[in-house]
């Protein structure tokens, strides 16, 4: 049976953490993969780490990492990807605006695709400012990168771990995972998922880091795509000689 580790980056989400066992229960029960959850505390200043450690002691399917200081969402995701030892890695936000059970919709596509991600477009439950800023950022990203993705920032994703750890990481890269997978020659699939209003904690994003910064980052990813090295080997005697010598 193939295995999966779901990465949950956490920064000051003490109200949400006690809800995790119940939220993940249906996913644990119905998944066809061997699941575990890795809670990555990104230098929280509330009781998040205390509650995370308690949860991991009570349920062996939950594990944790604690980063030395607050390093940002992309760093927390990368730490999770690097430390997982599974065939697949997933990602979901701690705010529970998306639900783990929707990851079950992804599993039938895993044999064919390197990345399966959610699309919240039809059911987004955010403020008008969030919706508009995301729409502008997504439209600009697609115009520049041609990744064909409606909702690149959706916090529901499953990737092959070998693909995940091969991606170039930088601050804000979590918004560009589909484009980066395509840049590596991977295949991606979008699946509609349900989105819910935030009922715990506070959003860590504002107009600057939700719109202006992603627009700047899009140019960086566009530059990487244009400068990508690509080659195919026509012939070689390298391995033939090694076989003869052995």
pLDDT tens column, 187-207: 999 999 998 776 665 655 555
Query: Cβ(106)–Cβ(113) under 8 Å?
Result: no
Query: Beta-strand (E) ranges in the chain?
Result: 3-10, 34-41, 62-66, 88-92, 115-119, 156-160, 188-192
CA dihedral over 133, 135, 136, 140, signed as positive or negative: positive
* DSSP 8-state code for residue 66: E
What is the structure's pLDDT at 144? 65
- Whether pTM > 0.85 for this model: the answer is no
What pLDDT shows up at residue 50? 97
User: So what's the pLDDT on residue 219?
Assistant: 64
User: Is the confidence at residue 32, as pLDDT, over 80?
Assistant: yes
Which residues in 144-171 are b (16+ Cβ under 10 Å) and which e? Answer: ebebebbbbbbbbbbbbbebbeebebbe
Contacts of 102 (CB under 8 A, 6+ apart): 118, 156, 191, 193, 194
DSSP state for residue 110 in the 8-state scheme: T
- Report the C-alpha gap between 197 and 193 in whole angstroms: 14
What token pair was written down for 113? 């695709």
For residue 183, what pLDDT band results from cuts at 50, 70 and 90? confident
C-alpha distances out from residue 179 to 120, 138, 145, Å: 18, 12, 7
Say if CB 136 and CB 211 are below 8 A apart.
Answer: yes
What does the pLDDT look like over 50-91, one tens digit per residue? 999 999 999 999 999 999 999 999 899 999 999 999 999 999
Measured CA to CA, the distance from residue 69 to residue 72 in angstroms comes to 9
Give dist(CA 220, CA 215) in Å, integer.
9
- The CATH code belonging to domain 3-127+152-201 is 3.90.550.10
């Amino acid at each position: 049976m193939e295995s999966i580790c779901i990465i949950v980056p956490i920064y000051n989400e003490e109200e949400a953490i006690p809800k995790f066992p119940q939220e993940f229960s249906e996913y644990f029960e119905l998944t066809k993969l061997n699941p575990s959850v890795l809670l990555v505390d990104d230098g929280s200043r509330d009781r998040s780490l205390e509650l995370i450690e308690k949860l991991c002691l009570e349920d062996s399917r939950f594990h944790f990492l604690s980063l030395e200081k607050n390093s940002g969402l992309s760093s927390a995701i990368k730490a999770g990807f690097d430390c997982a030892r599974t065939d697949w890695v997933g990602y979901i936000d701690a705010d529970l605006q998306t639900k783990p059970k929707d990851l079950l919709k992804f599993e039938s596509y895993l044999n064919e695709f390197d990345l399966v991600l959610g699309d919240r477009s039809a059911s987004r439950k955010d403020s008008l400012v969030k919706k508009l800023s995301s729409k502008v950022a997504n439209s600009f990203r697609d115009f520049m990168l041609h990744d064909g993705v409606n909702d690149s920032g959706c916090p529901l994703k499953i990737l092959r771990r070998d693909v995940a750890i091969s991606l170039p990481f930088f601050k804000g890269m979590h918004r560009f995972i589909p484009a980066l997978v395509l840049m590596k020659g991977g295949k991606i699939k979008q699946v509609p998922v349900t989105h819910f209003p935030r009922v715990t904690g506070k959003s860590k994003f504002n107009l600057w880091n939700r719109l202006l910064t992603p627009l700047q980052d899009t140019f960086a990813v566009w530059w990487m795509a244009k400068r990508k090295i690509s080659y195919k080997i026509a012939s070689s005697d390298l391995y033939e000689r090694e076989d003869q010598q052995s």
